[in-house]
Amino acid sequence: MSKIEQYHLHKLHPQKLQFEVYDLKSYRQKSGTKAAIPHSHSYYQIIWFFKTTGTHTVDFKRYDIKENTILFITKNQIHAFDDNYDCEGWLIHFNESFFMHTEVDIFLKYNIFKTQENPCYAMETEALARGKNYIDLITEELNNRMDFGFEATVRFLLKCFLINLERVHQKRANGTLLVNDGYTLKFYQFKELLERHYQENLTVKEYADAMAISSKTLTTITKKISGHPPAELIAQRIVLQAKRLLRFTTLQVGEISFELGFEDPSYFVKYFKRHLKVSPLVFREQAHLQ
């Protein structure tokens, strides 16, 4: 295929609530084989599997689904269900416009939806009851869409649900989420810009200018938060998209290079090989063998 299929939530109906909760089994049966083909979304997706049931593929890895596994799929992430239709649980969809309103939301987004590092984990007993209560309250609210404050209530309950999950994550990692840390906030601002502009081949200075800081300050920030300089993070995002296009489309290397903002396909090949130690074609061959 020449492109990765992308699905949208209420794109043609912006007046609708940009949030939905579905029964996982019903949704999976309705989606049929389509959901088993690698695809992406322009929205965020949380899948809560109630029981052990097969596997789920996220980008280039296949994960075993255990009882009460929570799976986080960020927008533009490539994923696919397996052929098992007997999966019970919840499926939560929401657009960024519904979710992103405060600094806390930004921190939740970049800590919960760290899909490259760890897109899923099994819920612990202490968090299960609270998580279920929040979803029950959300589904109850969805049945009363004409009530005063309906949308705000759903948004607050979603945030409570995500905070509950992030607290569990922080306990496991023995870490603390520094919401008011200026460096961290600036780092996430850089990540936001990178996600929007990585195909434009912007320089570190151009990203820094857009943030009204110097290149040196941006480098200090990214090294402190991630351990990597901004140029390396930019390269990682470009290479990630190149890998997705090589694995999940039939686009030629030249077409991929132009899509990623490279004017010279030969330079793209050298760029890719410098970061992954193999050529794009070799990566494609190896990826299809896995």
**CATH code of the domain covering residue 148:** 2.60.120.280
Kindly state whether residues 222 and 159 are assigned to the same domain: no
* 56 is a domain residue: yes
Which of 128, 154, 173 finishes a domain? 173
Instruction: Work out the mean pLDDT of the chain and round it to a whole number.
Output: 90
Please choose, from the candidates 71, 69, 110, the residue with its C-alpha nearest in 3D space to the C-alpha of residue 93: 71
**Highest-scoring range by mean pLDDT, 69-73, 117-121, 182-186:** 69-73
* Residue among 255, 260, 246, 287 nearest 201 (CA): 260
Q: Return the higher-pLDDT residue of 41 and 172.
A: 41
Q: Is the pLDDT of residue 241 over 90?
A: yes
pLDDT bucket at 114, cuts 50 / 70 / 90: low
Q: Kindly list the distances between the CA atom of residue 33 and the CA atoms of 8, 37, 70, 84, in Å, as whole numbers in the listed order.
A: 18, 7, 22, 10
Q: Residue type for 143, please?
A: N
pLDDT at 105: 81
Q: Say yes or no to pLDDT of 193 above 60.
A: yes
Contacts of 68 (CB under 8 A, 6+ apart): 48, 49, 50, 122, 123, 128
| Domain co-membership, 128 together with 111 | yes
Where residue 247 sits, what CATH number does that domain have?
A: 1.10.10.60
Inter-helix orientation angle 230-248/265-276, to 10°: 110
Query: Domain check: are 143 and 204 in the same one?
Result: no
Confidence band (pLDDT; 50, 70, 90) for 140?
very high
Which range, of 139-148, 159-168, 238-247, averages the lowest pLDDT? 159-168
Residues 85 and 144 grouped into a single domain: yes
Asked if 155 and 20 sit in the same domain, the reply is: yes
Tell whether the model's pLDDT for residue 178 goes beyond 60: no
Q: Distance between CA 212 and CA 185 in Å, rounded? A: 14
Same domain, 27 and 146: yes
CB distance 56 to 81 below 8 Å = yes
pLDDT of residue 163: 86
Among 153, 173, 193, where does a domain finish?
173
- At 29, give phi and psi (nearest 5°): -70, -35
pLDDT of residue 282: 97
Q: Is the pLDDT of residue 121 over 90?
A: no
Between 136 and 163, residue with greater pLDDT:
136
Q: Are residues 23 and 162 in the same domain?
A: yes
Q: What was the pLDDT predicted at 103? A: 73
Mean pLDDT, residues 207-217 taken together: 97
pLDDT tier at 107, thresholds 50, 70, 90 = confident
Number of domains composing the chain: 2
pLDDT confidence bin for 118, thresholds 50/70/90? low
Find, among 8, 18, 16, the residue nearest to 98 by Cα. Answer: 18
Residue 1 lies in a domain: no
Task: Please check whether residues 229 and 271 belong to one and the same domain.
Answer: yes
**CB–CB of 22/55 below 8 Å?**
no
Does the predicted TM-score (pTM) go above 0.95?
no
Domain boundary among 120, 148, 173: 173
Please indicate, yes or no, if residue 276 is contained in any of the structural domains: yes
171: pLDDT strictly greater than 80: no
Query: In which band, very low, low, confident or very high, does the pLDDT at 173 lie, cut at 50, 70 and 90?
Result: low
What is the pLDDT at residue 175?
A: 55
**Distance separating alpha carbons of residues 89 and 92, to the nearest angstrom:** 10
The answer to whether position 229 is within a domain reads: yes
CA proximity to 110, closest of 58, 207, 167, 188: 188
Of 120, 70, 119, 76, nearest in space to 96 by CA: 76
- Say yes or no: 221 and 262 in one domain: yes
Residues 51 and 188 in one domain: no
If you average pLDDT over residues 74-79, what whole number do you get?
A: 92
Q: Is residue 283 part of a domain?
A: yes
Residue 266's CB: how many other CB atoms inside 10 A? 11
pLDDT value, residue 168: 74
Determine, yes or no, domain membership for 87.
yes
Is 177's pLDDT higher than 60? no
- Is pLDDT at 101 greater than 80 in this prediction? no
Name the residue range of residue 285's domain: 182-289
**CA dist., res. 142 & res. 162, Å (int):** 18
Q: Name 90's bridge partners.
A: 23, 48
Out of 78-82, 114-118, 222-226, which region has the weakest mean confidence (pLDDT)? 114-118
